[in-house]
A and B are shown apart, each in its own frame.
Chain A
Amino acid sequence: AQTVTQSQPEMSVQEAETVTLSCTYDTSESDYYLFWYKQPPSRQMILVIRQEAYKQQNATENRFSVNFQKAAKSFSLKISDSQLGDAAMYFCAYKSGLEDFGNEKLTFGTGTRLTIIP
């Protein structure tokens, strides 16, 4: 079974600075997807970024980028120019590429609570 580990329960960053959240995972599969989700106090889980394992290029979405190290099974999230609205719980998630579409099962880490210091 796959596992996802987020070793930083809490992180804080000064507004406008850069912060990196860590995630490692364990799998024997070669085809899979990785995600970062954000859960603000409103509780809505919002997709931040997605990475396909077969892609060597790291995904980027505006101020959010990942450092995907497949051999090391590491998937960190970098947030640049941190803003107050970035304060939230951040969850790393894994999805096998072997399952049929429409029957996706996401495996989540325990999350990292990010605080933005004004």
Chain B
Amino acid sequence: ETGVTQTPRHLVMGMTNKKSLKCEQHLGHNAMYWYKQSAKKPLELMFVYNFKEQTENNSVPSRFSPECPNSSHLFLHLHTLQPEDSALYLCASSPGSPEQYFGPGTRLTVT
């Protein structure tokens, strides 16, 4: 248990649905991240937030929309996704040291 939680753990959605993934950490970390993990591919960094400000958008399609209302919470809003967006979505946080601490992920299936 790293202190980073993610909900839901599993999500199945149609291509026309709108859903949101939630990440929460109460570790006092100032940076939060979204990663996408697809089978047989390295983890792909999607977004970085530092002190609630987005500092990185790694060329992610606009159907993924992040939101960071405070340093403890991070959301990923999803709409009109494609089947190839099915993956494990991991949230991480870091306290300003080089390590990142990951949540358990949300397994997303787009039908």
A55 at the interface (CB under 8 A from B): no
Q: Which of A102, A103, A106, A109 has the most CB of B within 10 A?
A: A102
**How many A-B contacts if CB must be within 8 Å?**
62
From A4, A37, A47, A102, B51 is in contact (CB under 8 Å) with A102
Query: Which residues of B are found within 8 Å of A104, using beta-carbon distances?
Result: 31, 94, 98, 100
- Looking at B13-21, B38-46, B75-83, the stretch in contact with chain A turns out to be B38-46
B66 at the interface (CB under 8 A from A): no
From A33, A102, A106, A111, B45 is in contact (CB under 8 Å) with A106
From A4, A35, A50, A102, B50 is in contact (CB under 8 Å) with A102
Query: Which residues of B are found within 8 Å of A105, using beta-carbon distances?
Result: 45, 48, 56
* Contact A107:B48 (CB < 8 A) given known A42-B104, A102-B30, A102-B96: no
Query: Which residues of B are found within 8 Å of A91, using beta-carbon distances?
Result: 42-43
**Residues of A bordering B, CB below 8 Å:** 4, 33, 35, 37, 42-47, 50, 91, 95, 101-111
**Residues of B bordering A, CB below 8 Å:** 1-2, 30-31, 40-43, 45, 48, 50-51, 55-56, 88, 90, 92, 94, 96-105, 107
